[in-house]
Structure 1
């Protein structure tokens, strides 16, 4: 028999997180990925070369409902962070927590660096975390009750997760073998698991069809990420698991892992204790990003909250106050690292841990540098001139800020932007080329290039675009239609 859900205190914690995120949403600026998602949302499709369709559609829905600005874009992420806090409390309840354990679980999620980070920015992981947690909650209900009729719900949640990111099969790859080892195996028998898989496939089918029709480009992108970052991801996997959560919560995580393995009352959930290290191994072998395993880590945290809550309740008030102080300290540290709390010029103090902070700074200045370069083109040549950029963040920034500066729509061969170009072959006049210094090879496709401006974000923040050159080239080495395959790149 489950304890009643601690709806009021959990809602208060979740609402506080959402309010904080909305309050800070307008500081700094757009992240490069957000600018890309805004562009992709203007080209709705069942898939893109690097992602399924859900995140761009969420971005478009958020700006439609809450305003076409930075805060409007980030309302949905804030609401999804509040949803994550609630789901972690529900996971704790499913694992036997009473009111205190559920509130502690909600607090643990609320102070987590990863929840704050994904709640501040619109990214694929913003929806991926609550989607995985929903699958885990339904899977726990299935294991606890043994009722196969939960399988279609598990399948539906999995299908929706697949419409956002193609990572959730990793959860199945870790959890199903764990259930075979630890039980209860009866949930894998009969036609209900087949029905759940069919529902997942049906929900995800439009994107799977799109990917198949386009040669599975997401696999190409994933391979590039692994080749480029795989070694670093493997080396940083364990440290980032700790940092994404908080060192303060490591004892809760460890207690949950131990409880799932040894508590007879939770024998039905033991598979989750086995699934977490299996998932970690899969991510490490594949060179994936450390946060891919984070949703299952939250299940362990949820499992550890009830015994900790009971111990705290039995201790003097000063001990409880001390633990609350540690949680507040974790919240403050993680907020400084992941949220736009510091003045922009001080972000280098935290970008060595969380580089995404720096990628929210300098986009209007980038557009201004491009406008300075555009002004060097004689007016009688601008009708056949092209603005070309090498990165989707730059393209998104120019699409966002460029019209107000008199700039035409930019072109790029990066990710799905390659599918929305090339320029007409008749646009063979001057080319305004903007790219970070890390892409010198792109200049070989253009003639007579000279630097006419450089990007300065005005805060001295070292990011990918700081000091990027803006070049004015006389033309292209071949028609755009011939160059385009060479200009396309996935990473």
Structure 2
């Protein structure tokens, strides 16, 4: 297992310096320069990590992404540990860890500094600790699969209730990373109650865990309350399709078969069945409820990704038992996982030369790959277009973050934007009369400036169709109204 995790982490590290920064990473760096207990679209954890890693080396992309590599490795380790907690031996643990390491979602988010990878790590740890809380009595099988008989709900669990304290810490820290964590936590609690496992809550450590989680997340919740709960407004915007990774209901369903790779679908479906017919029925019930919840509320497909490690762990325990000592069967299983890993890496890790991307299926499958290409070239164009003394106003946080990160070598000023946290950071001074706009349509500028002069369009020079390719540049002169008056109209959450 150690070799597996080491190889997985090494692959992520070796590939982390290829292509370039993702738009979200540039935004996290910008937010890290303005540390706060909260932002309109996220809690403070990842901006803080970006600030810390930037202090180590501001120009090393692999350093910035190192926390994500560690978090992704934690997910792999947890998968193996969950297989062990479900009664699996060494083979089952390696199968589960290998399956999760080969997954498209885990590789993709482990390659970038993103909230998703820490969400996966925290939820995997929570699932593992809940399995430890539900530890069966000595001599009882952790995974008793039954055919049609009802599951025994009167089982006495012997797990150490002090695990609740660590769960409380994890949930609190997880909420400082992504408030969405509250959904699976709440659903799992209800699922445990509905499946007759109420005794696990009859300990003083459970309310202590709730208190720890609330107190840890309280500064962020206080920031949201003081600023009108913009996170809820953002959630509605995402549900309405404002994000580049938003999914339609049909795509939400179909993508569940691709998040961890199509070759692993039989394994996690088998794990789902095994858990449903075992003492751990709360986990498949949680999966089903979250599936429906995210589907009807417009959630993204990867919101459900945290449930698959435990499903794969349960499936791996059963598969390892069937494989037995047959070397050919183990070789076949290992080959399937290896093939899944190669397929995932070819699409979700930067292994292809950039020049080959336009003619490959990468961008059609992996939206985020395109968002890691061209930022330094775009900033170079912006610098060449900007007249001396002009301020810069961008349409989104990716453009603004890129200018902040790469613009110092061209002497570019700190940009302004109405997008997400940049709007909170304020408008240009009312004394500014000349502004170079990036990515803002001319129609929107007609009510802002008396003179609008086209200055070309962004071009990454690689023929890669990402969100910034072809976006317009305009020189906006003589604002019709002071920027402080216009600013509320430029506010955008999404």
The residue number in structure 2 matching 1:157 is: 170
For normalisation by structure 2, the TM-score amounts to 0.91
Query: Do structure 1's residue 459 and structure 2's residue 462 form an aligned pair?
Result: yes
Q: Deviations over 1:94-121 (max 9, x none)?
A: 1111111111111011100011001111
Structure 2 match to 1:189:
202
Correspondence for 1:3: none
Alignment-derived partner of residue 265 in structure 2:
250
Question: Counterpart of 2:455 in 1: which secondary structure?
Answer: strand
1:12 is paired with a residue of what secondary structure? helix
Shift of the alpha carbon at 1:66?
Answer: 5.2
* Secondary structure, aligned partner of 1:447: strand
Change (3 A) 1:213 1:436: same
**Counterpart position of 1:5:** none
Instruction: Give the 3-state SS of the residue equivalent to 2:486 in structure 1.
Output: helix
1:276 lines up with 2:287 in the alignment:
yes
Please, which of 232, 242, 247 is the counterpart of residue 247 of structure 2? 232
Aligned to 1:46, what secondary structure does the other structure show? Answer: coil
Determine the structure 2 residue equivalent to 1:202. 215
- Report matched runs for 1:55-454 at 5 Å: 55-65=46-56, 68-144=59-135, 145-228=158-241, 232-263=247-278, 267=279, 269-315=280-326, 317-348=327-358, 349-374=361-386, 377=387, 379=388, 382=389, 385-427=390-432, 429-435=433-439, 440-454=443-457
Gaps of 5+ in 2: 136-157
SS state at 1:456 partner: coil
Cα deviation, 1:176-212, whole Å, max 9, x if unaligned, reads 2211221221113354332221111011111111111
Which residue pairs with 2:488 in the alignment?
485
1:67 shift after superposition: 5.2
- Measured after TM superposition, the shift of residue 443 of structure 1 is 4.8
Aligned equivalents of 2:160 and 2:270: distance in 1?
28
- The whole-number CA distance in structure 2 between the counterparts of 1:32 and 1:66 is 19
**Alignment partner of 1:409: what SS?**
coil
SS of residue paired to 2:128 = helix
Structure having the larger proportion of residues in helix:
1
Q: Is the 8 A contact 2:247 2:301 kept in 1?
A: no
Cα separation, 1, equivalents of 2:445 and 2:109: 33
Larger mean Cα displacement after TM superposition, 273-282 or 142-151: 142-151
Q: Cα 1:67–1:412, aligned 2, differ >3 Å: closer, same or farther?
A: closer
Question: Aligned Cα RMSD in Å?
Answer: 1.7
Q: State the distance in 2 between where 1:127 and 1:430 align.
A: 42
Task: Report the equivalent of 1:6.
Answer: none
Structure 1 unmatched ranges of 5 or more: 1-9
**Could you tell me the TM-score, scaled by structure 1's length?**
0.92
Runs of 4+ in 1 over 4 A off after TM superposition: none
Give the Cα separation in 1 of the matches to 2:404 and 2:255.
Answer: 34
Query: How many angstroms apart in 2 are the aligned matches of 1:229 and 1:453?
Result: 26
2:445–2:452 Cα contact (<8 Å) kept: no
CA–CA distance in 2 between the matches of 1:67 and 1:411? 22
CA contact 1:178–1:274 (8 Å) conserved in 2: yes
For residues 446 and 133 of structure 2, the distance between their equivalents in structure 1, rounded to whole angstroms, comes to: 57
Q: Structure 1 pair 345/159, CA: closer, same or farther in 2 (3 Å)?
A: same
Pairwise CA distance, 1:149: 2.7
1:367–1:402 Cα contact (<8 Å) kept: yes
1:473 and 1:305 mapped to 2: Cα distance?
60
- Contact 1:369 / 1:453 at 8 angstroms: preserved in 2? no
